[in-house]
Chain A
């Protein structure tokens, strides 16, 4: 039983950064913008988040550093892709290349340093309940926040007027513009939200997942988050399922390595990436009745005056 509990805890921890980053990207894409720079924003968020926590000793300030760093990165993207109407795919790639370099530069002096990782909730009595106690009442703040965030995003997108307008921009920027909505401004906010989430997701890694910073520690999680948004068919509910499934694949392959299954560890490590490819193929294949992606996703919009 203890092993089951340990595995569930590990799955939640591994899924949380994916969920946070994918939630941000979901909002960005729902507004019609494809920001492929999630990996770059995450890795800068990781470096800045660790720097913030190490300098101040506060996990909360570290998380804020990550959020600000991710948002600043996303503003570069917004300036390029929205302000200057540059191809979004190319701009996103540039953002990732820049982010990898910047994070190495920022994080260089923190490599080898350690911090006290984020505290876990403890409610006497409740947390001690066997099996479910620690799973439900013993997580770090990021885990609870990520779940609150996705509920808030669902509510915003489907139950509020600004959410409806944001989705309208993603489905037809021409119509939204004709109705008088400031498409580019709305999209800029959506991109910034995506950046803030990616920065926070990156910061989660050195602040809670492992208490130190290593260059390249995001290891493709930003790209997996992008795949998760496709997996979810751009719907918040399915995003949660997807993120936890991927977290489970990651953890199970780690445990399988530990149990000494006779498969080389590199093949097990490749599983999450292969799973992403297979899931993308299966899902895209299943969608015969037209695409569920926002109709204007990734297209350039220059308002005519």
Chain B
């Protein structure tokens, strides 16, 4: 018996729509098995993961807060992946954005700097993220160095640089030697949407980004070029599209969005710069981008779903002592199923029995 792929005459639109749902279903089945292996009641665990966070207002806000960086980064990554440019260093661009924005916050700390501080932080973070992403892009375009490896290496460099800053020059003198900057001043903090809540202005910015990229991809020539370069490189060459220029552009945009997400996270929910500001947002965003089918609206939904798994994972840890790593396993398995189900859009799976085939004279 052998599994054989058969190319469909044209891509199946029905499956394109339902494949993420099949993937989520299969992931949940796998998780039930995993919970059982870990000796936890699968139904209670699933409830803690997927239902409990949806039942109180605080957790709902927390989901939106967690989804904000995921959606912003994933939207940028989707542009790269559509153009067949593999930026997997969003985590580093996120951290560099956080560092660049925090520089303003640290330098204006305790001064009477006005309302200009936060906008400057946001702009600087986006610029820094874009520049950091341009390093692998330029190495790729000018020298042909694999952008996958260079962008990833720069994640470790960014992580160490942030670590140096908060242990060295930027350390809070009154912070009991903890590696962290002082709490940002109110003018350097992303304002809350509801007084006393968790939801902040960053979520609105994320929604604007989703809308802007949806328009870019669906309604502009640039968006069309991005999609053609990725889907049909030969056709794009005949069309005279400059794929190198698109690599630079998509890397810069995704770096800017990751950097912006970084400073929003630091100046919003966290409130100061410290190591470990990201539980791997830059990597989880890769899953968000694929689960959302590289489509802005899809990414918004996928981002909320993966944010739910982060919050659910925390609640499951508190309520049932389920290790936090289960969330990472969940996310990895989900990406596998998403990719496998996507294969169904282009191919039919067929089980072939070699002997019978010969007997019938087909094949």
When distances are taken between beta carbons in the complex, the residues of chain B under 8 Å from A284 are 139, 143-146
Whether the Cβ atoms of A101 and B327 lie closer than 8 Å is yes
When distances are taken between beta carbons in the complex, the residues of chain B under 8 Å from A87 are 339
Among B88, B149, B286, point to the contact of A280 (Cβ < 8 A): B149
Whether the Cβ atoms of A83 and B3 lie closer than 8 Å is yes
Interface size of B in residues (CB-CB distance below 8 Å):
52
State which of A120-128, A136-144, A191-199, A265-273 sits at the interface with chain B: A265-273
When distances are taken between beta carbons in the complex, the residues of chain A under 8 Å from B167 are 266
- Tell me whether chain A's interface is mostly helix, strand or loop, or mixed: helix
When distances are taken between beta carbons in the complex, the residues of chain B under 8 Å from A94 are 287, 332, 335-336, 339
When distances are taken between beta carbons in the complex, the residues of chain A under 8 Å from B329 are 98, 101-102, 105
CA gap between A280 and B142 in the complex, in Å: 12
Among B142, B149, B336, point to the contact of A226 (Cβ < 8 A): B149
- Tell me whether chain B's interface is mostly helix, strand or loop, or mixed: helix
When distances are taken between beta carbons in the complex, the residues of chain B under 8 Å from A6 are none
Whether the Cβ atoms of A93 and B286 lie closer than 8 Å is yes
The chain A residue sitting closest to B34, CB to CB, is A105
Question: In this assembly, does B343 line the interface, its C-beta being within 8 Å of a C-beta of chain A?
Answer: yes
Whether the Cβ atoms of B149 and A104 lie closer than 8 Å is no
Whether the Cβ atoms of A266 and B328 lie closer than 8 Å is no
Q: Smallest Cβ distance from A263 to chain B, in angstroms?
A: 10
Whether the Cβ atoms of B150 and A101 lie closer than 8 Å is no
Residues 130-163 of B contacting A (Cβ, < 8 Å): 135, 139, 142-146, 148-150, 152-154, 156-157, 160-161, 163
Question: In this assembly, does A161 line the interface, its C-beta being within 8 Å of a C-beta of chain B?
Answer: no
Residues 52-102 of B contacting A (Cβ, < 8 Å): 86, 88
What 0/1 readout, one digit per residue, does chain A (271-298) give for beta carbons within 8 Å of chain B? 0011011001101110100010000000
Residues 305-331 of B contacting A (Cβ, < 8 Å): 323-331
Residues 1-21 of B contacting A (Cβ, < 8 Å): 3-5, 7
Question: In this assembly, does A165 line the interface, its C-beta being within 8 Å of a C-beta of chain B?
Answer: no
CA gap between A227 and B145 in the complex, in Å: 10
Q: Smallest Cβ distance from B73 to chain A, in angstroms?
A: 14
Q: Smallest Cβ distance from B136 to chain A, in angstroms?
A: 8
Question: In this assembly, does A89 line the interface, its C-beta being within 8 Å of a C-beta of chain B?
Answer: yes
Whether the Cβ atoms of B363 and A220 lie closer than 8 Å is no
Q: A101-B328, A223-B149 are in contact. Are A89 and B323 (CB under 8 A)?
A: no
The chain B residue sitting closest to A83, CB to CB, is B3
CA gap between A93 and B152 in the complex, in Å: 11
Whether the Cβ atoms of A230 and B332 lie closer than 8 Å is no
Of residues B143, B145, B148, B323, which shows the largest number of chain A Cβ atoms within 10 Å of its Cβ? B145
Interface size of A in residues (CB-CB distance below 8 Å):
47
Question: In this assembly, does B340 line the interface, its C-beta being within 8 Å of a C-beta of chain A?
Answer: yes
Among A266, A274, A276, point to the contact of B149 (Cβ < 8 A): A276
Whether the Cβ atoms of B328 and A104 lie closer than 8 Å is yes
Among B139, B157, B323, B330, point to the contact of A270 (Cβ < 8 A): B157
Question: In this assembly, does B290 line the interface, its C-beta being within 8 Å of a C-beta of chain A?
Answer: yes
Of residues A95, A101, A220, A226, which shows the largest number of chain B Cβ atoms within 10 Å of its Cβ? A101
Question: In this assembly, does A239 line the interface, its C-beta being within 8 Å of a C-beta of chain B?
Answer: no
CA gap between A277 and B323 in the complex, in Å: 35
Q: Smallest Cβ distance from A11 to chain B, in angstroms?
A: 20
Q: A84-B343, A87-B339, A284-B144 are in contact. Are A105 and B139 (CB under 8 A)?
A: no
Question: In this assembly, does A90 line the interface, its C-beta being within 8 Å of a C-beta of chain B?
Answer: yes
Q: Smallest Cβ distance from B122 to chain A, in angstroms?
A: 26
What 0/1 readout, one digit per residue, does chain A (87-112) give for beta carbons within 8 Å of chain B? 10111011101111110110010000
Question: In this assembly, does B333 line the interface, its C-beta being within 8 Å of a C-beta of chain A?
Answer: yes
Question: In this assembly, does A61 line the interface, its C-beta being within 8 Å of a C-beta of chain B?
Answer: no
Question: In this assembly, does A264 line the interface, its C-beta being within 8 Å of a C-beta of chain B?
Answer: yes
Q: Smallest Cβ distance from A18 to chain B, in angstroms?
A: 14
Q: A97-B331, A270-B156, A285-B144 are in contact. Are A264 and B168 (CB under 8 A)?
A: yes
Question: In this assembly, does A10 line the interface, its C-beta being within 8 Å of a C-beta of chain B?
Answer: no
Q: Which A residues lie at the B interface, using CB under 8 A?
A: 36, 76, 80, 83-87, 89-91, 93-95, 97-102, 104-105, 108, 219-220, 223, 226-227, 230, 264, 266-267, 269-270, 273-274, 276-277, 280-281, 283-285, 287, 291, 302, 305
Instruction: Show 13 residue pairs from A and B whose CB-CB distance is below 8 angstroms, ordered by the A residue.
Output: A76-B336, A83-B3, A84-B339, A93-B88, A93-B286, A94-B287, A94-B336, A101-B327, A266-B164, A281-B139, A281-B143, A284-B139, A285-B142
Which 6 A-B pairs have CB atoms at the shortest separation, nearest pair first?
A: A98-B332, A101-B328, A104-B325, A101-B329, A266-B164, A94-B335
